[in-house]
Amino acid sequence: MMNNPINKNSNTTLPENTAKGLDQALAQLPGGKTARIEKPKVEGAFNHILLITTPEYRYVFRARRESSSDEIEAYMRYMYEATSFLEAGGIFKLRNIAEETDFIKSALAVGLPVPKLIHADTDWMLIEYIEGRTFHEFVKAGEVEILLKILRELNLAHRRGIIYGDRWGDNEIIDSQGNVRMIDFDIEWSHEGVSNGIVEALEMAVPIFHSLRLTSTRNDLLQTVQNDALPLLKSWGYKIDTIRKFIEGFCNFYLDPNKPSNIWSLPPELYVSMAEPANRLIAIFAESE
């Protein structure tokens, strides 16, 4: 096994299979044997994620965690039940690495802004590193117009037959040129039979709701939704009533102080502060149906 720098720079010990995968990934790279390896600030619940830096390029190594995801899947099922996505025939699942690799290839084939795939094996993948700020960082800073860029990219993907899934704020990066880049496709959304726009409506509802949850300027966000986002969604042919139902479901789910609490729950202080703007957001959609 190679002399892995993460063992010197991090307290994390990788599972044996993941460590072997990392060695294999490093072997694919010029300068891989001497590359700097770091953990990112945000790693996520499903994956081991490592940043690999060589003298010329930076890459991202991803491998699924071996620990059970039962708790996370139960939480997500509870959320999708609350939004009525499952009742409407929606399906969600955790992709394995091979399935996520196939998704990236499909998205690249139709020209969508996903990371370039450098190499992949059964249990790991190596992709390009994308420098930029997350959608979360933009809206938290009050730059709420970025929502419109996200919605345009989602509409483009839908026109090309692609559903990204799980666009919650940290899975969208705006690069230095102002381009939206999509990352992290471990959650798949689909529908039993003909979807009738259900999955697409959910994918539009998620960033709108999370913009309200994350932003420091909720009044500005609501104005942007009413004056700009809604007209765009209507012109593109999305079902406004379905988006509204999903947004209402997310509001009910996240703002229910009696729901099971865990590391993904909102801090208690948001239960009060979000209630009034959440009701206004729902009303904006209801009035436009």
Which pLDDT tens digit goes with each residue over 212-235?
Answer: 999 989 999 999 999 999 999 999
With cut-offs at 50, 70 and 90, classify the pLDDT of residue 1. very low
Identify the pLDDT of residue 274: 85
Identify the pLDDT of residue 67: 65
Identify the pLDDT of residue 264: 53
**Any bridge partners for residue 128, and if so which?**
59
With cut-offs at 50, 70 and 90, classify the pLDDT of residue 2. very low
Rg (CA), the chain: 20
Residues 174-192 have a mean pLDDT of: 95
Q: Using a pLDDT cut of 70, give the percent of the chain over it.
A: 89
Identify the pLDDT of residue 275: 86
CA distance 275 to 282: 11
DSSP codes of every residue in 87-137 = TTTEEEEE--HHHHHHHHHHHHHTT---PPEEEE-SSEEEEE---SEEHHH
Mean pLDDT of the chain: 90
* Alpha helix positions (H), the chain: 6-9, 16-27, 70-82, 97-109, 135-140, 146-159, 198-214, 218-224, 230-236, 240-254, 269-273, 275-288
For residue 20, pLDDT over 90 is answered with: yes
In which element (H, E) is residue 37 found?
A: strand 36-38
Residues 273-278 have a mean pLDDT of: 88
Which pLDDT tens digit goes with each residue over 87-116?
Answer: 999 999 999 999 999 999 999 999 999 999
Phi-psi region of 136 (alpha: psi -120 to 50; beta: other; left: phi over 0): alpha
CA distance 233 to 221: 16
Residues 159-183 have a mean pLDDT of: 95
* Beta strands 172-174 and 133-134, pairing class: antiparallel
Identify the pLDDT of residue 54: 95
Identify the pLDDT of residue 48: 92
For residue 266, pLDDT over 70 is answered with: no
